[in-house]
Amino acid sequence: MVSAGIVGAKATGLGVWRTVRERTFVIACMFATLFALFALVVLFYGIVRDGWGALSWDFITNFPSRRAAKAGIYSALVGTLWLMGLTTVVTVPLGVGAAVYLEEFAPKNRLTAFIQLNISNLAGVPSIVYGLLGLTIFVRGLQLERSLAAGALTLSLLILPVVITAAQEALRAVPRAYREASLAIGATTWETVRDHVLPQAVPSIITGIILGLSRAIGETAPLITIGAFAFVTFLPSGPMDKFTALPIQIFDWASRPQAAFHELAAGGILVLMAVLLLFNSLAIGLRLYAERKIIRL
């Protein structure tokens, strides 16, 4: 009886200790989340406070100027739209195609394992490294100069590992039964992937594309490295034209000593956030449409 009582007391004490540890962990997680949200709110408040007064139609439609009162972001905004459009055109087929091949067609051997390991590692490489790579290959090697094409290809290199990894995870999440059932009725591997696996994975693939483009749209270091212009008073009309982008324009204004340009930089950040939300909203709409289409099927 005494031994049973001791064992029961120990079990009770262990249960209490586990409960305390669990509650402590939950509280620590909540504190970390609240602290991150507080920092985000403070940062956003500071940007809105400093930049709201700079927002106007003239600010959107004017070209950059050496006088803060006349400066605008028109060329940078158009350059960003061009850059994101070209980056999407390059990244989506390459990223999704690479993911489909590695996940559905490539043999499982040491080579593919090595490639997979490097793709995962490349997702964590600093963006300045991709800028140097873009400078060496696209600007100097392929003689694209400081063009939109060079900038888009550099940003595509930056986000390809993210898109490939996300697309592979989406393909893995599709139940194996879909593949087996399709192959059992005589479909080829490509027909199985095209008609059954990819449609099921599209919503998650779009999520990965959103994450990649959200990173690319705010990158400054790669664009500075390949030589994007900070002062452009014309609009690009094609992929081979010179360009600027909102992150470059914001960096240029923020680096100046005058307070008026700092306000313009804050206003540029607000516009950049609005463009990012617009892109994300369009992508989320496509994802929801794909999910509804899957449900109907």
Rounded average pLDDT over 5-24: 67
pLDDT for the residue 13: 59
Span of 62-66, 190-194, 293-297 with lowest mean pLDDT: 293-297
Largest pairwise CA distance in the chain: 90
C-beta separation of 287 from 211 below 8 A: no
Residue 43 to residue 11: CA distance in whole angstroms: 48
> Side chain identity at 274, as an amino acid letter?
A
Can you tell me the distance from the alpha carbon of 34 to that of 28, in angstroms, rounded to the nearest whole number?
A: 10
Higher-confidence position of 45 and 289:
45
Q: Cα(272)–Cα(177) distance, rounded to whole angstroms?
A: 44
Compute how many other C-beta atoms are within 10 angstroms of the C-beta atom of residue 270.
Answer: 17
Which pLDDT score is estimated for 11? 53
Mean pLDDT throughout 118-131? 84
Across the strands, what pairs with 147?
242
Q: How far apart are CA 108 and CA 127, in angstroms?
A: 30
Q: How many CB atoms lie within 10 A of CB 110?
A: 7
Three-class SS state of 182: helix
- Yes or no: say if 120 and 168 are a contact pair by the CB < 8 Å rule: no
| Banded pLDDT at 34 (limits 50, 70, 90) | very high
Q: Please give the average per-residue pLDDT across 220-249, as a whole number.
A: 84
Residues 241/147, Cβ–Cβ less than 8 Å: yes
